[in-house]
Structure 1
Amino acid sequence: MPSRAAAEHLPEGVDVMNEPWLITDLDPVRRLHALAGGIRGAYVTEAYIEAPFERVWSLLGDLEGAFGQVVPDMERLRVVRRQGKHVEALARSRYGMRARLRGVQQPGWCWLQSRFLLLGVAAAPEGPGTRVAFTGGVRLPTHAALIPLGVRREGSRSVQRLTALLCPPVSRSRRRTARKTATEQMGPPT
């Protein structure tokens, strides 16, 4: 709070606040919703993944590796510069489009954009698992909006791919072996 002397130098009609502003921190998933809410045509796909945050983010945060296995449209992403949390990367889509992306990456958060492309990924621990969110899309350079073609489908496919990488399905033979082992441990019925 400014001193009384500082308050005397305020313009007429401006008064000193005596109540502090409410400050709140948003987790990365809520922050992604907030930013996407300001972009016309943006859609956020959100899901709960039954895997610890560290495992989930080890895949999503690996921009040059596993990230391309999770995001269906991304054929290749190569980081060309990193300075703290700031990242510059070259991306190539499966459809041949290229982009120079700039943005921020830190644990639980990745927001990269170019003139034509936006990618947003967030993750936050929730109980024993992780809440994840994806947004992104293509935009025209003269428009602030995203072109909403396939955005929902791509988000759903990203969640499916991430889940498959983290929680691979158990094969029938492994299920039979697990059932047999469990029966052997219990012993014969009495």
Structure 2
Amino acid sequence: MNESWPVAELDAVRRLRVIARSTPGTTFAERLLDAPFDRVWALASDLENQLPLMITDIGSFTVTSAVGERLEARARSPLGLRARFDVVLRPGWCLMQSRFVLGGMAAVAEEGGTRLAFFGGLRLPGIGAADRVLHPLMAPMGARALKRLTDQLDGTPRRRCGPARG
């Protein structure tokens, strides 16, 4: 390579958008928040407290080990279903996957605030064939998850109905 090669660098939100759009069975949402990056990411990266508030299918999310930016966590649904997640968590970037679920968040500082993105979806054999049917059903999920998080930033705490099961 020489210096005349084109270079394309993507920020964290754009990288997450590429992953979401190239992965069947996922939803993606983003919004510009009127809040500084440090405040937004401090809240978003508090996975144990925020994921159960953002995603109704998560009753609890517990980090079981952490080595640098690599985490392992256990999620439990309100119905008692369990999943082990591998997580990469660094400033502005979170990518999580279990055997059947894939998700993540990204944030970048922009003029006027912070752009925050969320994506989630299923990792199932043959999901690509069902993507046309699943996409409209899953599309609102990402927007709802972001709204629940931004409600926290705006001082509108969201509480779960009933106690979370650990």
TM-score range, shorter chain: 0.7 to 0.9
- Residues 1:68 and 2:52 are matched in the alignment: yes
The one of 152, 160, 164 aligned to 2:147 = 160
Alignment partner, residue 41 of structure 1: 25
Change (3 A) 1:20 1:88: farther
Instruction: Kindly state the Cα deviation for residue 85 of structure 1 after the two structures are TM-superposed.
Output: 1.0
Runs of at least 4 residues off by over 4 Å:
17-20, 144-147
CA distance in 2, matches of 1:64, 1:84: 17
Structure 2 CA distance, aligned partners of 1:115 and 1:35? 17
Q: Are positions 1:129 and 2:113 aligned together?
A: yes
Shift of 1:54: 0.7
Aligned partners of 1:43 and 1:152 also within 8 Å: yes
Overall identity of the aligned pairs, in %: 42
Offset at residue 139 of structure 1 (A): 3.0
Deviations 1:100-152 (A, max 9, x none): 11131101111100111111111111113111111112332x34648637422
TM-score (norm 1): 0.71
Whether the 8 Å contact between 1:73 and 1:154 is mirrored in structure 2 is no
Shift in CA distance, 86/99, structure 1 to aligned 2, threshold 3 Å: same
**Inter-CA distance 163–18: structure 2 relative to 1 (3 Å threshold):** closer
Shift of 1:63: 1.2
Any conservation in 2 of the 1:61–1:67 contact (CA below 8 Å)? no
Structure 1 pair 20/126, CA: closer, same or farther in 2 (3 Å)?
Answer: same
Give the structure 2 partner of residue 92 of structure 1. Answer: 76
Gaps of 5+ in 2: 157-166
Closer/same/farther in 2, CA of residues 20 and 31 from structure 1, 3 Å limit: same
Root-mean-square deviation (CA, aligned residues, Å) is: 2.2
SS of structure 2 residue aligned to 1:48:
strand
Q: 1: CA distance between counterparts of 2:126 and 2:44?
A: 28
Among 21, 32, 35, the alignment partner of 2:16 is 32
3-state secondary structure, aligned to 1:133: strand
Matches of 1:80 and 1:56, distance apart in 2: 24
* 3-state SS of paired residue (1:65): helix
Task: Indicate how the Cα distance of structure 1 residues 95 and 32 shifts in structure 2: closer, same or farther if over 3 A, else same.
Answer: farther
State TM-score, norm by structure 2: 0.80
The one-letter code of the counterpart of 2:150 is: T
